Structure 1
């Protein structure tokens, strides 16, 4: 009977866990809808702004903006976008692994010299790099509490100011690009200095003649900082939608696994119960037979 009690306790525990995973899946599904709407609405604007800047980059000199100035990457800053909470499958692990691979492949010398810093947007990445002794700058975990352009821009402005002051010679960005609820694509791209578009010889490029008012320099000075802020905001929105998609998928799989485990436990419980009943019947029959013989 002790075995039966143990199985019953396990069944109750798995049932409770399954209810929690179902609830978390539904919450993530509701949040995913809002997060998806936000990134889908921003993407056309962010893409058009980036393309327009790339179109103008051919005639822009590096001296036109401090954010275009190429320098030897002696000091590097890596912006890693993760989440504040876990239970999202390999979402956070993959982002951190991609950032680590980027540092190991491109900036191993800077890492050995202690010239690699990290800005983590999300508690999971911040805790990971703090435990491993990286120079983690700032605390940006509250960005997700009220996710909007103004709050993300505060982080971007700090990064931009550090680049202008020479604290960093290059800024890299790592985040999850949202494709759909079941697919997130890891992206690592250079944020600063703003990379210039490389022409594709096989592509047919249509030249657009822009009329710039008041002047090209004035437009560029406003356009480039705004583009940098928009690109980081887009990355955070992408990551936010990816997080909810990954968590919804993970909780759906966890609910399914709990169901399979319940089936196995109930089968085990029924087998143990049947064996216990059979044993009791055997004892009763044996006792009755012994009394009859006596």
Structure 2
């Protein structure tokens, strides 16, 4: 299982590295664009002052045997929102990607509005189109005032960190690890250029924003998948090492018991011989 997980990890890591620069560049572009257009051009640019409802998309795995991959992000996520949400009347609705997350949230009594199995093979942004539609429609209709995405960020084969992104509304500094400082905070650049929109600002911004949300969800799914396979590979390696240690320990116990039995038999034979010689 370790070798299978390692093969899947390499494939997932390649996909993450290929798309990460594009994802960050797209986020940078929307942050630079955000202050050059009127918020009235699109409802996805509108920031709400009265917070009533938020939606959290959390990405976990479908299966276990991956160490603390699921428990780590789930427990830290609940702790993060309990600590940072001060309004007792604020409602949180959850979208679970991955069976383990859905099961945990259901047992915790959370309000799950949608649940998706995590794709075993990620083909493209179409894998997150259903999630994207829910959160975009919910934000435009003012059903939600903020949208968060929580996933496990792939740092290396040995290190993966839970991360949260405030996806909507778009803000310059909303990418951070749960419980620590941000690894790659994307900052706005002070470009002086003015943008010309064709055919119209509304059409361009609408298409751009929807694609950006798809890209960010897709990248989060890729990062989580690479982290999952890395965690599973390490868990299987530790299990293999532990099994080897147990085999060595049991072999030693068996050899000691066997040696004791042989010694006992030799002692009994020697004792019997001595009795016969003395009689």
Name the TM-score class by shorter chain: 0.7 to 0.9
TM-score normalized by the length of structure 1? 0.84
Deviations 1:24-43 (A, max 9, x none): 11111111122112222211
1:59 to 19, 36, 39: 36
Counterpart for residue 103 of structure 1: 81
Counterpart for residue 147 of structure 2: 171
Any conservation in 2 of the 1:78–1:99 contact (CA below 8 Å)? no
Q: CA deviation at 1:97?
A: 1.7
- Equivalenced residue count is 267
Runs of 4+ in 1 over 6 A off after TM superposition: none
Counterpart for residue 25 of structure 1: 2
Any conservation in 1 of the 2:51–2:145 contact (CA below 8 Å)? yes
User: Are 1:85 and 2:70 matched, yes or no?
Assistant: no
1:272 to 257, 261, 267: 257
Q: CA deviation at 1:189?
A: 1.5
Any conservation in 2 of the 1:178–1:242 contact (CA below 8 Å)? yes
Q: CA deviation at 1:117?
A: 1.4
Q: 2 CA distance for matches of 1:44 and 1:215?
A: 28
User: Are 1:74 and 2:58 matched, yes or no?
Assistant: no
Q: CA deviation at 1:227?
A: 0.6
Task: Return 5+ residue gaps in structure 2 as ranges.
Answer: 175-184
Q: 1:160 to 1:36 in 2, by over 3 A?
A: same
Q: Which has the higher helix share?
A: 1
Any conservation in 2 of the 1:98–1:174 contact (CA below 8 Å)? no
More deviation, 34-43/139-148: 139-148
Q: 2 CA distance for matches of 1:168 and 1:138?
A: 14
Q: CA deviation at 1:174?
A: 0.9
Any conservation in 2 of the 1:79–1:121 contact (CA below 8 Å)? yes
